[in-house]
Structure 1
Amino acid sequence: MKIIEDLNLPKQILDKTEKLMTKLFGPSIKEFGEIFADNVRFRRLKNQVRILNKTRELLDKNGLEPRELNLKTIVPLIEKSSVEEDELLQDKWANLIAKISTSPENGLEPRLINTLSSLSSLEAKILDFIHEDFYVQQQLRLARLLNSKYANRVYTERDITLEDITISYSSVKEHFELSDEFIKIYIDNLVSLGLLRYEEPEIDIDNGSTSADIIDDDEDKSVDLNLDLSASYNSSDDFHITAFGNYFIKQCKVE
C-alpha cells in the first residue's frame, strides 16, 4: 500500500503493521487506502498504524495469532480508533484490538469499541483508578475472610462480587483534585456508558403512630384512619463497577 509507505515510519514497522492489517481486515484492506486521501485522513491513518503496531507487539509478545474481524467490527474500529492521538488511549485501543482479535466473537465488540471511543484520557485514568481501588478492597476483604476463625471453606475472589465493593466518590475527587462539578460530570458519563452504577438510594420509614375512629351509626358505617408517618430519602454519590464495566476495563487494560 503506497499510503502506508508515505507515513515516513521505519520500514520494519510498516511491513509488519501492513501484514497485520491484511490479516485483520481481509479484502477490506483494498478500500482502506482509498478512504484516507486528504491530510486529515492521512493523520488518522498514522494514528491507526501506531495503534496496530502496538497491537502487533502485544500479539508477538504473547505468541498469539489474530483472526479476521467481521465488517460490523472493522468499520467502527477503523473509524473510532484512527482519531485517537492520546498515548494512553492508543495503548488501550491496542489492547482492545488484541483481545478482540484473539477471542471468539461474542457480539459485544461494537459496544466495546463505541465505549472506548467515548472516553477522554482523564476518564480513562479515573476508570483505571476506580478499578485499582476495587481490586485493593477486594483483596482486603478476601484476606479478612481467609483469616477469619469462622471460615469453614476456602474463599476466592469470586466470593466477593461487584455489588460487595463500593467506590467512594470523594476518594476519586481527592485523588484527581477535581471540583465537585467536574468529577460529577465525569462520573455521570461513566454511568451513562454503563461502566458504573450509583448506589441505590435508601428510604427509611419511621413507625410513627396510627389511630382509628370507628363510626357506627345508621347512616354511616366507616373507619377513619389517622396515620402519622414520616420517611427520609438518603441518596449517595458513591458507586459500583457494573458487570460490563468490569469486562470493558479488563479488555482494554494495559498489561
Structure 2
Amino acid sequence: MSDFGAGEIVKEVASGGRGAMRRVFGPALTEFGEMLADSMKLWRFKNLLRIQGKVDRIAKERSIPAAALNALPFGDSMRTIEGASQEDEDDVQEVWARLIVKAAASETPKVNKLHIELLQSLSPADTALLELLYPSVVGREFTTQAEIEAFNGEMNSKAETTWRKFSEEDRAVSVQNLLRLRCITSIPRTFMADHVLQQIRNRQLGVDGALVDPRRFEKMLGDLVALIHQSSGAMSYDATKPVPLMRKSWFGATQVGEITVPELNHMLTPIGEAFMKAVTLEPNLEDN
C-alpha cells in the first residue's frame, strides 16, 4: 500500500476511512480522526491506514464479503483503533489486522480488552515465537519415531525462517517479555526422586520407616529449586537439552522419544493460547 500525503491522511481518517475498516469501526473511526486531527499525528494515521490495507487484503484472500463483517461495539472499536494506530512494525500490524478480521467475522463481534493490551506490548520477535508455539505440542500424540523426526525437521525449518532470524539478544528479551505477560511458560521437566528414600522395616523391633540418602536428597532439592526458578522466568532452561516425550503406562512414565527444537522448551499458557486463537484465521473462517 502506497504512503499517503499529510492532507490525504487527515481527510481519509476524518471522513471515516474506507473498505472493511469503515464497516467494522463505523463512527468510531471518524471520532478518532477528529480527535487527532488538531495535533496532526500523521504517524498514527499512516499506521492505521496500513492496517486497513491488510484488513482488506485478508478479507479478499479469505473470500469474506463485506456483508459478513459485523460492526464492533463502539468501545471495542475505540480501544482497537487506539492501540493499532500506535503500531508501526509490519509483522505486528499483520496480527492486528487478523484480530480485527476474525472479531468482525464472528457472529458475536467483540475484541477482548486483554488481547488489545497484549498486542500493544508485543514486538515482531514476540509474535514470531508465539506463532512457533501455536498450536501447542503439549499433549500431542506421536505414534512412530519417524513421525517425531518429521515434526522436529518441520519445526526447526520454521524456526530458522522466523524466530531464529532475530538476534540472540532480541530473542532473550522476547522470552522475558512473554514470560512477563504470562503468555508463555517453561515446559516442566519430569521431577525425579528415585532412591531418595530407602525403606527399613524390622517387625521384631517394631520399626517401619525410611532412611534418607543425604546426597540424593540434596540433589532433589536443587532440582526442585531450579524448576521453580525456571517456571518464574528467573532462570532459563538449557536450550541445548532436548524435550523428552513421556508416555504414561501401567509401569509409570516412560520416554518414547524427544523433541529437538530448542524453542519448544517453552509452551503457551492459557492466556497465550486464548490470544493466539483470537488472532489465528482458520481455513474455513468464512463458513463459521
TM-score, normalising length: structure 2: 0.58
**Quick one: distance in 2 between partners of 1:112 and 1:248?**
6
Alignment equivalent of 1:85, drawn from 64, 88, 93 = 88
Question: Which residue number in structure 1 is paired with residue 142 of structure 2?
Answer: 141
Cα displacement string for residues 134-156 of structure 1 (whole angstroms, at most 9, x for unaligned residues): 59x96x936x3999xxxxxxxxx
Cα displacement string for residues 11-56 of structure 1 (whole angstroms, at most 9, x for unaligned residues): 99x9994253442223334422221125662220221122112212
**Structure 1 gaps, min length 5:** 148-166, 214-222
CA contact (8 A) 2:16 2:29 kept: no
Question: Which residue number in structure 1 is paired with residue 55 of structure 2?
Answer: 55
Q: 1:134 to 1:38 in 2, by over 3 A?
A: farther
Counterpart check, 1:118 vs 2:121:
yes
The structure that has the greater radius of gyration is 1
**Quick one: distance in 2 between partners of 1:176 and 1:133?**
21
3-state SS in 2 of match to 1:141: coil
3-state SS in 2 of match to 1:36: helix
Code of the residue aligned with 1:228 in structure 2: it is V
**Quick one: distance in 1 between partners of 2:109 and 2:95?**
19
Q: 1:199 to 1:146 in 2, by over 3 A?
A: closer
Code of the residue aligned with 1:46 in structure 2: it is K
Q: 1:68 to 1:48 in 2, by over 3 A?
A: same
* % identical equivalent positions: 21
CA contact (8 A) 2:15 2:30 kept: no
1:227 is displaced (CA, Å) by 4.4
**Quick one: distance in 2 between partners of 1:178 and 1:29?**
37
After superposition, residues 1-255 of structure 1 pair within 5 angstroms as: 7-8=7-8, 17-38=17-38, 41-61=41-61, 62-64=63-65, 65-105=68-108, 109-131=112-134, 134=137, 141=142, 144=144, 175-176=164-165, 178-179=167-168, 183-205=171-193, 206-209=195-198, 227-229=211-213, 230=217, 232=220, 233=223, 235=227, 237=237, 238-253=265-280
1:250 is displaced (CA, Å) by 4.5
1:120 is displaced (CA, Å) by 0.7
1:57 is displaced (CA, Å) by 2.5
CA contact (8 A) 1:17 1:56 kept: no
1:88 is displaced (CA, Å) by 1.4
Over the aligned positions, Cα root-mean-square deviation in angstroms equals 4.4
CA contact (8 A) 1:72 1:110 kept: no
Code of the residue aligned with 1:63 in structure 2: it is I
Code of the residue aligned with 1:50 in structure 2: it is R
**Structure 2 gaps, min length 5:** 148-154, 231-236, 238-264, 284-288
Q: 1:195 to 1:106 in 2, by over 3 A?
A: farther
Q: 1:125 to 1:37 in 2, by over 3 A?
A: same
**Quick one: distance in 2 between partners of 1:194 and 1:78?**
24
3-state SS in 2 of match to 1:245: helix
1:92 is displaced (CA, Å) by 1.6
**Quick one: distance in 1 between partners of 2:109 and 2:180?**
22
